[in-house]
Structure 1
Amino acid sequence: MRLAIENLRASLGGARVIRGVSATAEGSQFIGLIGPNGVGKTTLVRAIAGLVPFEGGVTLNDVPVRAMNPRARARAISYLAQGAGSHWPLEVSRLVALGRLPHLEPFHRASADDEAAIEHAIDLAGVREFAGRDVLTLSGGERARVLLARALAVEAPLMLVDEPVSALDPYHQIRIMEVLRAYATPDAEGNDRMVVAVLHDLSLAARHCDRLILLDDGKVKADGLPRDVLTPQNLRETYRIEALIGEGADPFILPIRRAE
């Protein structure tokens, strides 16, 4: 699988947010999209998903995303929005099952493969205990995991997730990062799968991602292995912080003070 972003530019409310981003990714990868607030991370993933107008190009396996019909795009790209919610009183399993809609023909019932994908997504996201409950009775963090299960149920080759762990406690932050890490591997048939995640926890990003893309002012500041992106200079210039950086099997980034 190949994702290519070429000189992407996008505006919101008349203000230029993305100022010419280019990047290419091939094969199964877990890519973390990082950077301070307001640098265009959410706009970039929404552009990749074909959800906002943009200039430039985004192709998946050499097919322009804008040229895909909606059903084909929904099968190829699953998207979990930042702070996604549910405003209807759906039972949890039925909400997760919505992730299979792109695969269903009109007026057809879910197949055995669809049901298996739904059950697998429920187990991956750790929401089996909520089956049978109305999603509106769940806490914000519990609901976030159910919505992740819906995105997992699509079984798309490209998954885009925007701040997937921001509402979760530390245990479930680690669990979901492990789930996304495992998803970004070839599927049972050997087909590549890729995850692009907007992340603010730099330690989780360093520990679980294959690659980090650091945005600043709508442009790519750095792109590469976590240890090559999360340098003292990059942290100082983009986040305006001084940090303690731990390397090894369990790297960490501990902000110490604001940089002057």
Structure 2
Amino acid sequence: MDTTIEDLQDALTAGRAIREHGPYYVRVGREGLDFRKVVLAHPVASGKAILEAAETFPVDDYLLFRIARNGVTEELRPDSAVDLRSDGVEKFVVFRSDRAFRFMLDERAFDWGASRISGATLKHLAGVDVDNQDVWQQALGGSDLMIEDDGFADLAAAGVERFVTRPVGLSIVVNAKRREVFRRRLSYWEVVKLAFAAAQKSDDIIYTINYARGPHANPEGSMVEGQHVKIKENMVFYVTPTDRS
């Protein structure tokens, strides 16, 4: 019998059938979705067995959620079981909590074990590009609220919170001209080409970039080649070429 550890994530990514017998590697993470490998001995594992394998003690103090391949989360109770061979689940997330919170994300229902959730985590669960998509908390009868990657939405309020992801669309100013961009982060050369479309890397010309009116993480500053900068609506860039020939 093959006694090597079957990595479920590798198998599912490769599109091959899961081995009929253990041991298996699954990924178990915390609220920030920082996963680590955990070994499970048997193909059918209870919620309690997964919590014990992840060394989350005492088990009764924790909630366990399975993360499906489409990103949807669902609570797995200690006395419930999952078949690792057929359920297409290789990731789980645990919380030290006694209460689960349900929310809707892009019209799909998710369960969560904390009373708040970050914008970055919502994007991860939705399976969208962090830089190309924004996540919004919908408000009935009011204005939707954008949740920054490092910001948090409250799930503890009455009712089910609803979130949607939408493509980024921003208007910035580069050398006094309006430019439309569709990413939350721009590289040095992306900014240069917004100012000078024909710009090329050259030993003869160097471009100096300064910016202002940026987000709270970087309200103003400068850029050098190799750097990226987070941007926001109406951010201003000044790009100056210098001939070194």
TM-score by shorter chain over 0.5:
no
Question: Would you tell me which structure has more helix in proportion to its own residues?
Answer: 1
Q: Rg bigger for which structure?
A: 2
TM, length-normalised to structure 1:
0.27
Question: Would you tell me which structure has more strand in proportion to its own residues?
Answer: 2
* Higher RCO (CA < 8 A, seq sep 6+): 1
